[in-house]
Amino acid sequence: MDSAFRILAAVSAGGVLGALARYGLGVAWPHPPHGFPWATWTINVSGSFLIGVLMTAVARWRPNQRYLRPFLGIGVLGGFTTFSTSIVDVQHAPPAIALLYLFATLIGALLAVWLGSTVTGLGSR
């Protein structure tokens, strides 16, 4: 099997798993029509944290695992996080909630990636 095809297969398989996990969480925790979309925010921030953990861990401890990052990082966590849905949520929320949600998502996701990477990096010292 061609290497590019194997990477595409890894991303696709991981994406299915991530999207199913996101869907399940969204069904279990729906947000009110005009309230703060906590499920989507939690998905994006926790997914960002896990991306920080994963990318740091793989770079330090499993750098030669060719399909690990495409499967887990791009596939599972890319399918799990849903930043496009957060933009739709912003467009449909009242202005005050939309601004709060937009900034909470941006700041929360950036801090989560940093924290995940930092915490994982400390484990290697």
> Any known ligand binding at 123?
no
> Any known ligand binding at 81?
yes
pLDDT number for residue 119: 95
pLDDT number for residue 31: 82
Name the pLDDT band for 6 (thresholds 50, 70, 90): very high
Q: Is 0.95 surpassed by the pTM of this model? A: no
As a whole number, mean pLDDT of residues 73-101 equals 93
Q: How many residues in the chain?
A: 125
Cα 118 from Cα 121, distance rounded (Å): 5
Cα 21 from Cα 34, distance rounded (Å): 24
HSE-up of 13 (CA within 13 Å, CB side)? 12
Domain count across the chain: 1
Number of CB atoms found within 10 A of residue 114's CB:
13
As a whole number, mean pLDDT of residues 33-37 equals 87
pLDDT number for residue 32: 81
Contact (Cβ atoms closer than 8 angstroms) between residue 14 and residue 71: yes
Domain that holds residue 81: 3-122
